[in-house]
Amino acid sequence: MPILHTRAERLDRAVDALLAGSPVAPPVDPGLRPLVDLAAALRGALLPVPAGSRLEARLAARLATRSPLGDGMRAFRERATRELRSRDRLLLAGAVSSAAVGVGVTAYAVWHRSALRRS
């Protein structure tokens, strides 16, 4: 839709100018003028809604007192989740763990047998 795209771009630029508070130049396409007027009416009607002072104070206190321990735990949890999400890493970790357990059991069996022989 190349024509619509071009008109959409021109309208967007006019809205940019409107929001910046600069005088909006008449669009080349007169068909856009009603839309630019409507955009101006919308901007005038959609008033900003300020947050209450209680919310401001409460949230400021919460943001200021966020515990570093909580941050650390969150970072650990996110990292663990990331690690576990990787199937290859999970398989590798499993293989290394199994091998470590195998080596440990074998070492214990060898030690146990030699201890029995000595006694």
Residues in touch with other proteins (CB under 8 A): 1, 4-5, 7-9, 11-12, 15-16, 19, 34-35, 38-39, 41-43, 45-53, 55-56, 58-60, 62-64, 66, 71, 74
Q: Which residue has the tokens 């650990």?
A: 76
Q: Which is nearer to other proteins, 66 or 113 (CB)?
A: 66
Q: Which is nearer to other proteins, 83 or 98 (CB)?
A: 83
Rounded to whole angstroms, how far apart are CA atoms 1 and 8?
10
Least separation in angstroms between CB 10 and other proteins: 9
Beta strands in 1-119 (DSSP E): none
Least separation in angstroms between CB 9 and other proteins: 6
Least separation in angstroms between CB 54 and other proteins: 9
Q: Which is nearer to other proteins, 71 or 113 (CB)?
A: 71
Q: Which residue has the tokens 């409507």?
A: 38
DSSP string covering 7-25:
HHHHHHHHHHHHHTTPPPP
Q: Which is nearer to other proteins, 33 or 113 (CB)?
A: 33
Nearest to 9 by CA among 32, 43, 30: 32
